[in-house]
Chains A and B, each alone.
Chain A
Amino acid sequence: MRPRIELLAPELIGRILCEAFELLMNPGVRVGSAPVVQLLRSAAVEVNDGVARVPEPLVRSCLASVPRDFYLYNRQGEKAVHYGGDDVHFDPGSCCVQMLDPDTLEARPSETRDLVRLVQVTEMLPQFAAQSTAVVCSDSNAPSAIGDLYRLFVVLQHSDKPVVTGSFSAAGLQGMIDLLAADSGSRDNLRKKPRAVFDVCPSPPLNWSEFGSHNLLDLARAGVPAQIVSMPLAGGTAPVTLAGSVTQHAAETLAGITLHQLAGPGSPVVWGGAPAIFDMRTGGAPMGAVETAMLNMACAEIGKHLGLPTHGYLVATDSKFVDAQAGAESARSAMLGALTGINMISGAGMLESLACHSVEKLVIDAESIASAYRLVRGVEMRGETLATAMFAQTGLSGEFLKLKETRALFRQEQHLPSPVIDRSARGTEPPSDVFTRARARVDELVSMYRKPSLSEHVLRKFQSIVDRETEREADKAGVASPIPGTEKF
């Protein structure tokens, strides 16, 4: 039996969806661009003053064309992430602007070398099924409009794993799809075996902005998976109650799915989210709060009820250091997300309410994730008997350590942690804290990492796409600004 947690009673799920459909009609959804308005009107949706009233039957018909599951593939073309059912995967948090310096313990602007180090460590850890475009590269002289393209360019050069990514501009998305298609061989190959999923975010409450909705439509038409990441802040940009925020999340996501499926029926799309409570002291979004975890769980439950692939934002903390608070909050939400059966859980490695990344935290989070995976495997039946056959061999001697069953089964029964987790007896060596051990683990993983060997042909294609997009943006801005490759990293 796979252990699971459910927060919503069936009648509450029905009520949430009922009110979400009501919200789509009244007050309706703000839509920001002419092509979106045109698309909605072609489906007989009433749009007045930039507000669309989306009827339930249309939404239901769009839901019916969404694939119930799909895969992301690694560079070798193998299935690496299954979006669907109760399968659970993790990836590091995305698009952070600061990095915790392990020497000074201060947050500083993140750079390309930080992204490379995060990718290297993620590549080495089996707990992470996918990479993310984890940090902004403040040292890059790439125009900011194509910063997301540059991050994907760096990740693809250093990883074979699938990527959870996103674009902050409508213009940047096509370059990113070109980059992925260059790696896959063609846009058609990319559609058949997608390597990446793109986060696309509505703006709370109930607003699909111009760039968000453009990206959604472009992804649908390209057949590249989209992950709708609705971010209601309970009490700030959404109703203060958890149930109210889940309802708003459902309405925003249903609106997104409708746009997406109208543009590309049958294209893969994920019921994702990064909902949080609104902190009534600081005005921030406490990602480590248990209520934030509850929102993610409840939102995913609605997606699962609709039979859709799911995503959430967990395994993060509000602490500024890799300390006990960081460990407690991150491990707790990793467990809760896994018990909910969320298909992709983003957020590992992140501190300070998603404002700062830490590669040391990432390796500690990997241990929490491994424990969460162990937990959801549950208590399993192995062999003909549970204990009597083993007692038949040991009698009352207690010599279980010598049994062949012990040796054959202990690796399945127990998660064997890396040295990041201290279980040693107090001995002759001075005891170390988890941060010290995590630093050593990061160094070890980086030393074992091997960069993927990409063909010269693909690398040249990558560089030409990046150069093309750079020139296009530079032309717009009226400056020349070539950006380098990442050979030095």
Chain B
Amino acid sequence: MSDQLFQAMRQSIIDGASDTATELAQEALASGVDPLEAVNQGFAAGITFAGDQFGCGQMFLPDLLASAEAMKAAINILEPEMLKRGSQRKALGKIVLGTARGDIHDIGKNLVATILSASGFQIFDLGTSVTPEQFVAKAKEVDADIVGISALLTTTMAGQRAVIEALDRNGLRPRVKAIIGGAAVTQKWAAEIGADGYSRNAIDALELAKNLMNKMMNKVMNKGTAQA
């Protein structure tokens, strides 16, 4: 029974069917299925599949976004019960996002926010034209793991460097990682301004964020082992 339900959950995310995902989440609660299991074995498998399909060109942005929205709809139903049980899904990490100062183009940043959020990251979206000081303040406030700075234009790319410099000045790096993205952004530019990572699209951004979190975890564990 559960296997069938998990399969239907996975499919609802792949189909980008928010209504179905909502109904299946409600059905899971009504029939006593562990909400965390519903996420991990059902819905999350769908978003992973959708991401892979997008990565190989079989799904497109509107499909991916619909999958992410369906994921959010399911989580919204399941979250109160997870909180009640004290079994809420552990966030993969905390990420502060925004577009660089002077840049009001946020379609890419919004997509990254949606995909990362649907995949289990906790997102603090500062919106558009964000100053370096605002990035720093938010990163401190929420104890962020990663700061992501988006810039569409070559003229606003300099703003990405300004945020990284501000994070450095405030002593947040290397603990807080800085990642960048945007149409004109390249790996070369990322290296030049000392960013910790760069991605070409929202799915690559998810991989990048996961890799950075793994590296951070390994570092902490290695440090712990060395001290022991």
Q: Are A427 and B69 in contact (CB under 8 A)?
A: no
A419 CB, min distance to chain B CBs, angstroms: 7
Q: Is B221 an interface residue (CB 8 A)?
A: no
Q: Which residue of chain A has the shortest Cβ distance to B63 in the bound complex?
A: A407
Q: How far is the CA of A425 from the CA of B187 in the complex (A)?
A: 11
Cα distance, A407 to B70, chains bound together (Å): 14
Give the shortest distance, in Å, between B182 (CB) and chain A (any CB): 9
Cβ of A477 under 8 Å from chain B: no
**Are B66 and A407 in touch, CB under 8 angstroms?**
yes
The CA of A407 and the CA of B60, in the complex, are separated in Å by: 9
Q: How far is the CB of A468 from chain B (nearest CB, A)?
A: 48
Q: Does A424 contact B (CB under 8 A)?
A: yes
Proximity string of chain A (416-434) to chain B, C-beta cutoff 8 Å, 1 when within and 0 when not:
1001000011111000000
The residues in B between 165 and 206 inclusive whose CB is less than 8 angstroms from any CB of A are 183, 186-187, 198, 200-201
B32 within 8 A of A: no
- Distance (whole angstroms) from the CB of A285 to the closest CB of chain B: 39
- Are A401 and B62 in contact, CB atoms less than 8 angstroms apart? yes
B61 close to chain A: CB less than 8 A:
yes
Known contacts A407-B66, A427-B200, A428-B200, A401 near B183 by CB under 8 Å: no
> Does A402 belong to the interface (CB within 8 Å)?
yes
B200 in contact with A424 (CB, 8 Å): yes
* A410 part of interface (Cβ distance < 8 Å): yes
Whether A410 touches B183, Cβ cut-off 8 Å, given contacts A402-B65, A427-B200, is: no
How many A-B residue pairs have C-beta atoms within 8 angstroms? Tell me.
34
A426 touches B186 (CB 8 A): yes
Contact (Cβ within 8 A) B60 A410: yes
Q: How far is the CA of A419 from the CA of B65 in the complex (A)?
A: 22
Contacts of B224 in A (CB 8 A): none
Is there a chain B Cβ closer than 8 Å to A406's Cβ? yes
B148 within 8 A of A: no
- Minimum CB–CB distance for A196 against chain B, Å: 35
CB–CB A407/B69 < 8 A? no
Q: Is B16 an interface residue (CB 8 A)?
A: yes
* B217 within 8 A of partner (CB): no
Q: Knowing A401-B107, A425-B183 touch, does A410 contact B200 (C-beta < 8 A)?
A: no
CA distance A426 to B57 in the complex (A): 17
Interface of A is mostly: loop
Closest residue of A by beta carbon distance from B198: A428
Which one of B66, B111, B198 has the highest number of Cβ atoms from chain A below 10 Å of its Cβ?
B66
Q: Which residues of B contact A402 (CB under 8 A)?
A: 62, 65-66, 69
Given contacts A401-B107, A419-B57, contact A410 B62 (CB under 8 A): yes
Specify the chain B residue showing the minimal Cβ separation from A424: B200
CA distance in complex: A406, B64 (Å): 12
Q: Is the CB of A407 within 8 A of B16?
A: yes
Cβ–Cβ < 8 Å partners of B187 in chain A = 427-428
- Please name the residue on chain B nearest to A405 by beta carbon: B62
Main secondary structure of the interface of B (DSSP, over half): helix
Looking across the interface, which residue of chain B has its beta carbon closest to that of A409?
B62
From B16, B57, B62, B69, residue with most partner A Cβ within 10 Å: B62
A417 vs B107: C-alpha distance when bound (angstroms) = 22
Q: Measured between C-beta atoms, what is the minimum distance from A79 to chain B in Å?
A: 30
A398, A407, A419, A428: which contacts B62 (Cβ < 8 A)? A407
Instruction: Say how far A453's CB is from chain B's closest CB, in angstroms.
Output: 28
Is B183 a contact of A416 with CB atoms below 8 Å? no
Contact mask for chain A residues 386-424; partner B; CB cutoff 8 A; 1 contact, 0 none: 000000000000110110101100110000100100001
**Which of these, B62, B107, B186, B200, contacts A406 with CB under 8 Å?**
B62
On chain A, the residues within 8 Å of B57 by CB distance are: 419
How long is the Cα–Cα vector from A404 to B69 in the complex, in angstroms?
11
B61 CB contacts on chain A under 8 angstroms:
401
Interface residues of A in 138-159 (CB under 8 A from B): none
Which B residues are CB-close (under 8 A) to A399? 110
| CB of A430, distance to nearest CB on chain B (Å) | 11
**Nearest CB of chain B from residue A410's CB, rounded to whole Å:** 6
C-alpha gap A416/B61 in the complex (Å): 12
From 37 to 81 in chain B, residues with beta carbon under 8 angstroms from any chain A beta carbon are: 57, 60-63, 65-66, 69
Q: Would you give the shortest CB distance from B202 to chain A, in whole angstroms? A: 11
Q: For the complex, give the distance between the alpha carbons of A147 and B163 in Å.
A: 71
Q: A104-118, CB under 8 A of B: which get 1 and which 0?
A: 000000000000000
- How near does chain B come to A415, taking the closest CB pair, in angstroms? 12
* Residue in contact with A427 in the complex, picked from B16, B65, B186, CB distance below 8 Å: B186
Write out the residue numbers on chain B whose beta carbons fall within 8 Å of the beta carbon of A428: 187, 198, 200
B194-228 vs A, CB cutoff 8 Å, 1 = contact: the mask equals 00001011000000000000000000000000000
Min Cβ gap B211→A in Å is 13
Instruction: Write the B72-111 contact mask toward A (1 if CB under 8 angstroms, else 0).
Output: 0000000000000000000000000000000000010011
Nearest-neighbor residue (CB-CB) of B62 within chain A: A407
Residues of B within 8 A of A426 (CB): 186
State the Cβ distance, A467 to closest chain B Cβ, in Å. 46
Chain A positions 408-464 with a Cβ under 8 Å from a chain B Cβ: 410-411, 416, 419, 424-428
| Residue numbers in B under 8 Å from A425 (CB-CB) | 183, 200-201
Chain A residues, Cβ within 8 Å of B111: 401
Q: Which of A404, A410, A427 has the most CB of B within 10 A?
A: A427
Set of chain B residues within 8 Å of A407, measured between Cβ atoms: 16, 62-63, 65-66
Closest beta carbon of chain B to A413's beta carbon, Å: 11
Measured CB to CB, the nearest residue on chain A to B201 is A425
Q: Which A residues lie within 8 Å of B63 (CB)?
A: 407
B-side contacts of A410, CB under 8 Å: 60, 62
Given contacts A407-B16, A425-B200, A427-B187, contact A401 B65 (CB under 8 A): yes
Closest to A401 in B: B65
Residue of A nearest to B107 (CB): A401
Residue pairs across A and B with Cβ atoms less than 8 A apart, 28 shown, are: A398-B107, A399-B110, A401-B61, A401-B62, A401-B65, A401-B107, A401-B111, A402-B62, A402-B65, A402-B66, A402-B69, A404-B66, A406-B62, A407-B16, A407-B65, A407-B66, A410-B60, A410-B62, A416-B60, A419-B57, A424-B200, A425-B200, A425-B201, A426-B186, A427-B186, A427-B200, A428-B187, A428-B198
Binding site for B on A (CB under 8 A): 398-399, 401-402, 404, 406-407, 410-411, 416, 419, 424-428
> Which 10 pairs of residues, A with B, have the shortest CB-CB distance?
A407-B62, A427-B200, A406-B62, A425-B200, A428-B187, A407-B66, A401-B65, A426-B186, A402-B65, A410-B62
What 10 new A-B contacts, CB under 8 Å, besides A402-B66, A416-B60, A427-B200?
A398-B107, A401-B107, A402-B62, A407-B16, A407-B63, A424-B200, A426-B186, A427-B186, A428-B187, A428-B198
